[in-house]
Amino acid sequence: MSQTVTPSDDLSAAAPPAEGAALANAPFDIAARVLHRDGMMLVIDKPPGLAVHKGPKGGETLADHLDALRFGLPNAPELAHRLDKDTSGCLVLGRHRKALADLGKAFADGTVGKTYMAVVRGVPGEPHGRIELKLAKRSPTRGWWMAVDPRGQEAITEWTMIAQGEGLAVLALSPLTGRTHQLRVHLDAIGHPILGDSIYGGASRLPGGPILHLHSRRAVIPQKKGRDPVDVRAPLPAHMRATLERAGFDPAALEALADAADFTPRAGAKPPAGRA
């Protein structure tokens, strides 16, 4: 069981100004963001603001940088799953066709352990919880916008509160299914939207507005032949560290609390690939 810490500061006033769209456009060394590398996979620390695929508005994406991650192989790695543009942290890539098939199956079966960290508005009334709300597309014209819908697909999220302040809290979360925007919609549905969420949380969409405070902290990927799982952790991005430090928190201590949260992959579940 993780311990919840409480600062003396008002966390609601702690959000720093956005680093802005420059996060996606500023040059960066993708190879320097590799957290794990073996013959099967790479795990990288994706920066916030960088889309993993080309969208209708164009712009720089992770795909523009994948060739720099070949590390001697003939082909660039490919995504084993997805993260939303504004979500940072652990992103798993397969280095060849068989690896992609094995990794894709592990994500689809729910055997990959995933821990996220989020700063949310309001303080939950309980120290931990489980959200089971089905999700469906909000409209046919915005297929990636999701909404709670009893006719939708199963979606399950577990969460543990690891810190609380005046008006905001820090949660460790595990999506047991992989629906698009699952964590963002689920947290908004229980009255605790993620800080900086301009789609579901009412944050400003103007330049200079707050950045989404959602981070893929940890990925635990099972291995075959009795080998230990690959256990990778991504450090909190600068904007989340700044928010927590301004509130009097120690980001490293909260990372440790998130890592200690007791989440279990749901073996046998077969959700489609989605974006948190």
Return the minimum-mean-pLDDT range out of 11-20, 21-30, 191-200, 202-211. Answer: 11-20
User: pLDDT value at position 56?
Assistant: 65
Contacts of 91 (CB under 8 A, 6+ apart): 43, 44, 45, 46, 52, 62, 79, 81, 83, 216
Q: Which two tokens stand for residue 66?
A: 């994948």
Q: Which two tokens stand for residue 107?
A: 């994500």
**Which one of 10, 29, 45, 84 is the catalytic residue?**
84
Handedness of CA 148, 145, 51, 154 (dihedral sign): positive
Give the whole-angstrom CA distance, residue 109 versus residue 122: 33
Q: Which residue has the higher pLDDT, 157 or 13?
A: 157
User: pLDDT value at position 22?
Assistant: 42
User: pLDDT value at position 205?
Assistant: 61
Which residues in 90-124 are b (16+ Cβ under 10 Å) and which e?
bbbbbbeeebbebbbebbbbbbbbbbbbbbbbebb
User: pTM of the predicted model, to two decimals?
Assistant: 0.87
User: pLDDT value at position 26?
Assistant: 57
Model confidence band, residue 265 (pLDDT cutoffs 50, 70, 90): low
| Mean pLDDT score, 86-108 | 97
Q: Catalytic: 64?
A: no
Contact 164, 113 (CB under 8 A): no
203 has a pLDDT exceeding 80: no
| Mean pLDDT score, 235-246 | 96
Which among 40, 34, 43, 52 is positioned nearest to 102, based on CA atoms?
A: 40
User: pLDDT value at position 14?
Assistant: 44
CA 114 to chain centre: 9
User: What percentage of the chain carries pLDDT values higher than 70?
Assistant: 81
Give the whole-angstrom CA distance, residue 37 versus residue 9: 40
123 has a pLDDT exceeding 70: yes
State the DSSP H helix or E strand holding residue 100, giving kind and residue range, or none if neither: helix 97-109
User: pLDDT value at position 224?
Assistant: 86
C-alpha dihedral (84, 157, 6, 203), degrees to nearest 10: 40
The average confidence (pLDDT) of the chain is 86
User: pLDDT value at position 142?
Assistant: 66
C-alpha dihedral (9, 173, 216, 263), degrees to nearest 10: 130
Map out the domains of the chain with their CATH numbers.
11-260 (3.30.2350.10)
Q: Which two tokens stand for residue 10?
A: 């008002």
Q: Which tens digit of pLDDT belongs to each residue from 8-34?
A: 444 444 444 444 444 445 567 999 999
| Mean pLDDT score, 205-229 | 87
Give the whole-angstrom CA distance, residue 139 versus residue 137: 6
Q: Which two tokens stand for residue 109?
A: 């079966």
Model confidence band, residue 166 (pLDDT cutoffs 50, 70, 90): confident
